[in-house]
């Protein structure tokens, strides 16, 4: 049975409780909201509001000596910072501060409390759109969890 639900639950719970993210809106997946919160962490959302809303992917294989199955789970985490003005530097710096907080949560416990899991950020993608509502920095992290 896949560990995707357990990874998403553990990741969301730890990020929502992280003191460094106390002023950030942390959600489990994308959220339909009229909130004007400037900073967001969306667990299990690839950041593409026009796309497929990919929450996780997994690859399974035989573990060592064929004694069961192992799983590699990839979870997107999208971080968004906005300020209402056109200063992209400020929102870019803020989104990377949020990313440092996410990385610290993972460094504190790479297993996320799950049996034998090892999780870390594998890659990231930064977008900096300017709209009529100001600058936004959107950083999508790809979290990789290996579970033997």
Sorted by where each begins, the domain ranges of the chain are 4-147
Would you tell me how many other CB atoms lie within 10 Å of the CB of residue 45?
24
Cβ–Cβ under 8 Å, residues 80 and 136: yes
pLDDT in tens, 17-65: 999 999 999 999 988 777 889 999 999 998 888 888 899 999 988 766 6
DSSP letter (8 states) at residue 114: S
pLDDT at 102 over 90: yes
Q: Quick one: pLDDT at residue 131?
A: 85
CA distance 38 to 105: 21
CA distance 20 to 102: 9
Fold held by 4-147: STM4215-like (3.30.2000)
Q: Quick one: pLDDT at residue 65?
A: 63
Q: Quick one: pLDDT at residue 64?
A: 66
pLDDT at 139 over 80: yes
* Locus of tokens 């730890």: 14
Give the residue, 67 or 134, on which the prediction is more confident.
134
* Locus of tokens 């992290």: 141
Q: How many helices (H) and strands (E) would you count in the chain?
A: 2, 7
Residues near 95 by beta carbon (within 8 Å), at least 6 away in sequence:
79, 80, 81, 126, 137, 138, 139
User: CB burial class (10 A; 0-12, 13-18, 19+) of residue 25?
Assistant: middle
pLDDT in tens, 81-92: 998 899 999 999
Residue percentage of the chain with pLDDT more than 70: 97
């Amino acid at each position: 049975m896949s560990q995707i639900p357990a990874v998403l639950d553990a990741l969301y719970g730890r990020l929502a409780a992280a003191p460094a993210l106390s002023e950030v809106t942390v959600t489990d997946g994308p959220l339909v909201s009229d909130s004007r919160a400037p900073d967001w962490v969306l667990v299990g959302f690839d950041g593409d509001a026009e796309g497929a809303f990919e929450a996780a992917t997994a690859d399974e294989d035989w573990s060592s000596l064929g004694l069961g199955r192992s799983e590699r789970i990839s979870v997107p985490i999208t971080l968004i910072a906005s300020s209402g003005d056109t200063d992209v530097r400020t929102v870019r710096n803020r989104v990377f501060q949020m990313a440092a907080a996410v990385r610290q949560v993972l460094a504190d416990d790479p297993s996320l409390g799950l049996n034998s899991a090892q999780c870390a950020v594998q890659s990231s993608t930064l977008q900096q759109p300017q709209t009529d509502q100001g600058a936004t920095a959107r950083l999508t992290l790809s979290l990789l969890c290996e579970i033997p």
